[in-house]
Structure 1
């Protein structure tokens, strides 16, 4: 039994890590706000976001596998450089702000657990640990560390059971959306739905997924080349192409399982965080939650010490998953845009520029703590920047995934296109609404 579990866990990789990184401290803050403010009224969004996330991430993963290149490199080949640089202008600051918000959240939550040490010292410690982990761990071990860190997300599944929710009410809220009544009583409910959508379907995930799949398939292709040489040396004239085609089919099949499980995990954790806040906080009259540490602290008196400790520990654990993904994603975007040769598969001395971008992004994120930008402000700016770039990137991903010159026989299915177009339309509406709220709907 345990052997089967280990074998199944081996299949999982980039998709699992990508899904887990989506539930970063900033995401936890958004889901906690939704639960505290509206109870269980946003639980149904889980059913909507899962297929949309899975469809887009699968496209990005397939593009990475087929092209053996990151999304930025592929976009650079097939689109105007103006589009690419505009995307960089919006994506890079958004990722830095996201890193800063996550580092600050981890420090603040650690301070709740150990009040004698100031949050900034915890933030410095976590930044140093993350930097060492990303730079010095070999790629395979680094990915395995991230994969096993995903287990920390299981803490969020435990917490709601300590609050004893009404499961019939939970099921009804999950299946039957009550949008009209909520909007009628609070127009800001739509803004919360937009925030959930933007937090869950973030552009940085697209780039990370494609880059990681490209790294994995490069290793497989190197092995294929070794096998070809062995066959050639043995005088065997068997055509290796059918074998390669079967292998690519198996890789894509495995990738589909990995992506679907990763996105399912992401949405399951989102469900349980909203459920925790919607029962423990909303049920006790705690309605205003702005930061993740406020959510953790609010749990202590209403749900008990254990719920509080599990929730707080989960925040720190998810930060250790998400921040390497964010900084690594930024380095892939910048390096591929500038034509640098670098990846997590290489050591520091082999890809200095690549790792310097990672170090710089972590230090900039940490520096936000000293600039007077609060995590809440950082998340607001991040949401706006992600909101602007998401529809554009999704449109380009859809185009690439249907381009036979790029994808050959591995283009989108009809279902993938339907889900992709629906995601594009929803994210476009969300972006327009978000921009309207921030710049035109001022009192």
Structure 2
């Protein structure tokens, strides 16, 4: 969620890369699904297959490959058969490059799911047909984690939601079971306000509808999962948003140069900039003019979102790490009082008497939680009053910060609308937050 200089990822993004995550409850088949994607799309090496085949933690019979081990890399994960940490995998098809984040399903590790989801373009919500309660009266009861992860996907503004109804082989590929589950999910998604939702029936274990179409589900005439992922349109709204450039580092000459070189290094989080553009330094409010845009390969006339550059200005100003350069005509909002939605990520409950650090872009300053406005019930989507927060609570809170933050609403700009809270004593990340400039 923090700004970073990483030209490798910048280049991948420009070539049509898709970032997506898998989410769901424990043992819904997330790791197996990703393993099947990698295996069937030839996205793994022979030595990786050999290592998995020799693993002492295989949960398959005979020579059958345990595909979940391709992402569950920690010894504790393999012993317990669950995903604990976020596992990132890179693969490509002739049509697209992908970065996959396999996130944990257990409620205890919801915080890891939030981490993986913070940069995702799409989310695959896995629903295990064997766990969904189907009543004789036509009722359908989705798992709490399905609702929790869908809620987080909405809060984090993930553009595409794919509902993968998994383990269809356990219900003999029954279309009526699939239709009932999808109907229930669509009803819940509508209450959340999720718009781009696509459902697909599959079996990750046997490969039905993952990379190849399933003869067992002739009633389904939609795309396979890989076809769906290859065809998703990812419109990067950051290119059209106002210019935002969190300063990461101030570069000076080596002391032996006659010219007084002073450049401001960072990654353009949104918008574009060109030589001669008028900027404002926030939070100081000083005005500046772009003199040059420097990269490793030389100077540029202009640059846009996703590029890591060094900006040179005509004026000599007091600018340091943590400041934000923004377009003079569309500056960010400066906040001393912050209203935000947060996911509490610490085992220790919130203590409003304690001080925290807030990390927003490249700026870090002191912060204090002034109030807990409400906690969101993921089952009913209703908010209720609370006087504290515990692990995995999703709540709206009020913060007071020592130094003003130059920020945007998260809905408008994910980069400058996101932050984390850090415990001042333990230095542990305790919450991930999304700034709301208007009360919802």
* TM-score normalised to structure 2 length: 0.25
Greater relative contact order (Cα 8 A, min sep 6): structure 1 or 2? Answer: 1
* TM-score normalised to structure 1 length: 0.25
Q: Which has the higher helix share?
A: 1
Higher radius of gyration, 1 or 2 = 2
Q: Which has the higher strand share?
A: 2
